[in-house]
Amino acid sequence: MKADSSPASSVVATNNSAVPRSRFLLFIINAAIGCAADLVTKAWCFASQNLRAGEVAWVWKDHVGIQLSRNLGALFGMGQGKFAYFAILSIIAAIAIPIWLFWFRAARDVWLTFALGCVMGGILGNLYDRLGLSGDSWYGPGNTAPEAVHAVRDWILWQANDRWRWPNFNIADSLLVIGVGILLLHAFLHPDPPARDPSA
């Protein structure tokens, strides 16, 4: 009977505990707000005729502004032209994240839940564009009829000067970077405890 109250038994009981309902709300609300903010800002920026004509709207002259661009690749322009590949990866990630959080109960950790809510919001915002749901169309190479645009809409311009410019990005990209940053910081500050030796 004494063994049942040992620290090892307490660890097992803790590991088998249910995910608090508040974690479901934290994840869903975080992802929904992030995705909505991304899609609303994209729609607003790309509705501007002046911006669509190539104009730059400076918020901080020569450093921060709004400039429209389309990205057929991944984060910050990597992997250009492989939008279908990245769309498939996004769908897989959007399915895997909730499973890991709530089926395998990683959501018991509030910071993991918050970070992956950010990541999910970023994934959904850019996946919307990659699936051609933005409503925009263009004439692809060799096409005689317009086709849906399967490219991510970017609008945030940041540069140190004219020679050093960061690739245009959007709120979804920012959410992905923030989420991954929190995950890395969490892993550094809270490494997994060493496995307990059953024979000890």
Q: What does the pLDDT look like over 73-98, one tens digit per residue?
A: 776 656 666 778 899 999 999 999 99
Q: With a cut of 50, say whether residue 107 has pLDDT above it.
A: yes
**Looking at the annotation, which residues are catalytic?**
154, 173
What does 10-24 look like in DSSP terms, one character per residue? HHHHHHTPPPPHHHH
3-state DSSP assignment of residue 70: strand
Q: What does the pLDDT look like over 148-200, one tens digit per residue?
A: 888 999 999 999 988 899 999 999 999 999 999 999 999 998 876 544 555 54
Q: How many residues does the chain have?
A: 200
Most confident of 44-58, 69-83, 132-146, 184-198: 44-58
Q: With a cut of 50, say whether residue 114 has pLDDT above it.
A: yes
pLDDT at 53: 84
